[in-house]
Chains A and B, each alone.
Chain A
Amino acid sequence: MDRHQGGETIGITIKTLPEEELFTSGHTACGGCGAPIVVRAAMKILGPNTVTYFPACCLLVFGGTYPHNAFKVPYLHVLFENSAICAAGIKQALNKQGKEDVNVVAFAGDGGTGDIGFQALSGAAERNEDILYICYDNEAYMNTGIQRSGSTPFGAWTTTTPAGTKIGGKELFKKDIPKIMMAHNVPYVATASVGHPADMLRKIEKAKNMKGFRYLQIFAPCPTGWRMDTAKTVEVAKKAVNSGMWTLFEMVDGVITLSVKPKMEPVDDYLKMQGRFRHLTDEQIKIIQGWAYKKNEMDLKFVEAFSEDKKE
């Protein structure tokens, strides 16, 4: 059974994106941060008839420090690990007040989403709460000073996976949160990237216009935590997709489509741009390359298995 309604888009593009800023300048993100690119665009699409929720994360701090705030729309923060349920609580209360038309969106980091916040996220998804959940994935706990998260990739330096003499960076692989969300059988799950804006805008707009639980995970590089040139935020995001380190797809009612077919360029270029991978040995780079190939292969099979024509 299709669980969603809507999802129609008028095809918002960079050209037609409204000029009005609902997430204003003056926020205090580090220069070149990927997260505000996501938030600024998403707020333009969601529009003023929106209530927002934020867990503890970089965005909470750089988006507003009392008494100042960059958001012009209603804004709630409660805690770190309850974004999905807080958004759901807001939505239920709005519905009770007859304000069914208000969009409710939670923006959360990868840690607040896939690690500590996963229980609330999974619960809200299972109940198909009518909210849009946007995870900006910067692959670590940045707000507390660059500690590893489940979303940190293999080999990456963080302050809790230092490049030591015995162990060089993270020894485990990136948790595939979007796939876990797909297993919840919610109306919409998609990945996006600040390096592919047209695709990102289309997905945000589509998710906005659907009902039920919608999950978007958007790749948003953090130049501070990734130890890289602030000018390269978008470039590195593009390279992640082109090398298969991050895959763009979407799932609408159980049908999965690949949004951009990975070119499977060697991962070296992508890794070399970032100081967090500076210490990697050839052996480690080989492991990462192997991971990208394997992931790509599995993704293709996955897409094939859940394609439109496999739907009965």
Chain B
Amino acid sequence: MFEVRFHGRGGQGAVMAAQALASAAFQEGNYAVAFPYFGAERRGAPVMAFTRVDKDKIFSKTLIYEPDYIVVLDDKLTGLVDVADGLKDDGMAIINSNAKPEDIELGKSVKCATVDATTVALETLGQPITNSAILGAFAKATGLVSIDSIVAGIMDIFGSRIGEKLAAKNANAAKVAYERTSVGTCKGTMTYEKGGKWLPDYKELPLGLATRPMKTPEGLVGPGSFVDNKTGSWKTFAPVHDPDKCIMCRMCWFYCPDGAIKEVGEGDAKTLEFHLEYCKGCGICANECPKDAIKMER
């Protein structure tokens, strides 16, 4: 039996990757299951998916807490989520990154494979969608499934969702990534804020969850407490503001769905502050600015 946990963001296709891996393992005569972390995450939010493979029928219906492998579709997640949490000491991390395995920092030092799946995807698909390429890296790094089976798994799962032609492109992405994967050992130097979840017992929990604003050791809860949720890590592009061009018309401030733009200062000194810790990088501000005073940059 081996267990894999995928880390990605809503919209990156972590679930499809987990399913394609299951299909690949199945085609090699194994029993395999794949499932999402059942959530209601929107596009961009960190998500998880799981694959479990064994020779015999799998009965376990629990989430995976101590995976043998973790697969990370977006290396920015490694600074945010303790992706190696529970990863077995002899396990391995497979990460989409243009860095060498030795330069990757996780919560623990483990065997690590990297591939620049984003570049592979841009070359093969024309889009930065990495869920197929990363499976090629998985095959190469672990040797647990052949690249041919990965191709078959992608054709099976992707094919039924996005059609034969696009699936074939994705299969190709996996093959290219297979060739470009390097394996080494990552650093275990990353530390994570142990924020922890507020988990009061049933007596402390407000009756029926009717909740007033409260400060807990784990942060704010109740009305207005979402300010603690820093959504800025979702972005790929960030707005860069040019105050010289800006006429302080407030259009960007008004349109920003995330309230990430604040007006500061008085009179002539008035300017804008971009709170990148919330900005999701949608680009609306740049698109709507009448003076072209905002540029989106990677």
Binds A, one of B89-97, B129-137, B148-156, B225-233: B225-233
A62–B42 contact, CB under 8 A? yes
Tell me whether A67 is interfacial, beta carbon within 8 Å.
Answer: yes
Chain B residues positioned under 8 Å from A37 (CB to CB): 254-255, 257
The interface residues of chain B, by DSSP majority, are classed as loop
Does B103 sit at the interface, judged by CB under 8 A? Answer: no
Cβ of B202 to closest chain A Cβ, rounded Å? 14
Rounded to whole angstroms, the CA-CA distance of A31 and B224 in the bound complex is: 20
User: Chain A: interface residue count, which band?
Assistant: 35 or more
Binary B-proximity of A143-159 (CB < 8 A = 1, otherwise 0):
10000000000000000
**Chain A residues in 8 Å Cβ range of B282:** 31-32, 223, 230-231, 233
Residues in A with CB closer than 8 Å to B288 are 234-235
A78 to chain B: closest CB distance in Å?
12
Residue in contact with B234 in the complex, picked from A31, A74, A224, CB distance below 8 Å: A31
- Whether A310 is near chain B, meaning CB under 8 Å from some CB there, is no
Bound Cα distance from A71 to B213, whole angstroms:
11
Chain B residues near A31 (CB-CB < 8 A): 43-44, 234-235, 257-258, 280-282
Task: Assess whether B257 is in contact with A61, with CB atoms less than 8 Å apart.
Answer: no
Interface of chain B residues 233 through 257 with chain A (CB within 8 A): 234-235, 249-251, 253-255, 257
Is B287 in contact with A41, judged by CB distance below 8 angstroms? no
Interface-facing stretch out of A11-19, A89-97, A174-182 = A11-19
Q: B195 interface residue, CB < 8 Å from A?
A: no
Within the assembled complex, what's the spacing in Å between the Cα atoms of A129 and B94?
A: 58
Minimum Cβ distance to chain B for residue A43 (Å): 10
Residue A24 is within 8 A (CB to CB) of chain B in the complex: yes
Chain B residues, Cβ within 8 Å of A40: 257, 259
- Chain A hits for B41, CB < 8 A: 28
Q: Does A68 contact B (CB under 8 A)?
A: yes
Check if A224 sits within 8 Å of B43, measured CB to CB: yes
Query: Is A25 within 8 A of B283, CB to CB?
Result: no
What are the interface flags for B256-278 relative to A under an 8 Å C-beta threshold, 1 for contact and 0 otherwise?
A: 01111011000000000001001
Contacting residues of chain A (66-107) with chain B, CB-CB under 8 angstroms: 66-75
By the criterion CB–CB under 8 Å, are A69 and B283 in contact?
no
A47 contacts the other chain (CB 8 A): no
Identify the closest chain A residue to B280 (Cβ): A31
Q: Establish whether residues A68 and B221, one from each chain, have CB atoms under 8 Å apart when the complex forms.
A: yes
B11 at the interface (CB under 8 A from A): yes
- Point out the residue from B209, B211, B234, B258 that lies within 8 Å of A25, measured CB to CB: B258
B176 at the interface (CB under 8 A from A): no
Q: Does B40 contact A (CB under 8 A)?
A: yes
Alpha-carbon gap, A36 to B209, bound state (A)? 24
B209 surroundings in chain A (CB, below 8 A):
66-67
Are B42 and A230 interface neighbours, CB within 8 A? no
Given contacts A25-B259, A28-B42, A31-B235, A17 and B278 within 8 Å (CB-CB):
no
Distance between Cα atoms of A11 and B281 in the complex (Å): 31
B222 neighbours in A (Cβ, 8 Å): 67, 69
When the two chains form their complex, are residues A72 and B275 in contact, meaning their CB atoms are under 8 A apart? no
Q: Which B residue sits closest to A64, measured CB to CB?
A: B226
Shortest CB-to-CB span from B149 to chain A, Å, is 29
A28 interface neighbour in B11, B225, B231, Cβ under 8 Å: B231
| A58 contacts the other chain (CB 8 A) | yes
B284 in contact (CB, < 8 A): yes
Which residues of A are found within 8 Å of B287, using beta-carbon distances?
A: 231-232, 234-235
**Assuming A31-B43, A31-B44, is B260 touching A25 (CB within 8 A)?**
yes
CA of A62 to CA of B296, assembled, Å: 24
1/0 contact string of A27-39 vs chain B (CB within 8 Å): 1111111111100
Q: In the complex the two chains form, what is the Cα distance from A292 to B286 in whole Å?
A: 30
Would you give the shortest CB distance from A160 to chain B, in whole angstroms? 15
Chain A residues with CB below 8 A from B217, complex form? none
Partner of A67, one of B211, B231, B263: B211
Query: Chain A residues near B44 (CB, 8 Å)?
Result: 30-31
Task: Determine the distance from Cα of A60 to Cα of B169 in the docked complex, in whole angstroms.
Answer: 37
The yes or no answer to B168 lying at the interface (CB within 8 A) is no
**Nearest CB in chain A to that of B10: its residue:** A30
Q: Is the CB of A14 within 8 A of B227?
A: no
B223 CB-CB contact with A under 8 Å: yes
Q: Nearest Cβ in chain A — how far from B214, in angstroms?
A: 8
Closest CB in chain A relative to B247 CB, distance in Å: 12
Could you say which residues of chain A place their CB within 8 Å of the CB of B224? 24, 69-72
Given contacts A19-B263, A33-B42, 13 further A-B contacts (CB under 8 A): A25-B278, A26-B229, A27-B231, A31-B43, A31-B257, A35-B257, A37-B255, A58-B42, A68-B225, A224-B42, A231-B282, A232-B287, A234-B284
What are the nearest 3 A-B pairs in CB distance? A231-B283, A32-B282, A31-B280
Residues of A within 8 A of B (CB): 14-15, 17, 19, 21, 23-37, 40-41, 58, 61-75, 143, 194, 197, 223-224, 229-235
B interface residues, Cβ below 8 angstroms from A: 10-11, 40-45, 198, 209, 211, 213, 220-231, 234-235, 249-251, 253-255, 257-260, 262-263, 275, 278, 280-284, 286-288, 296
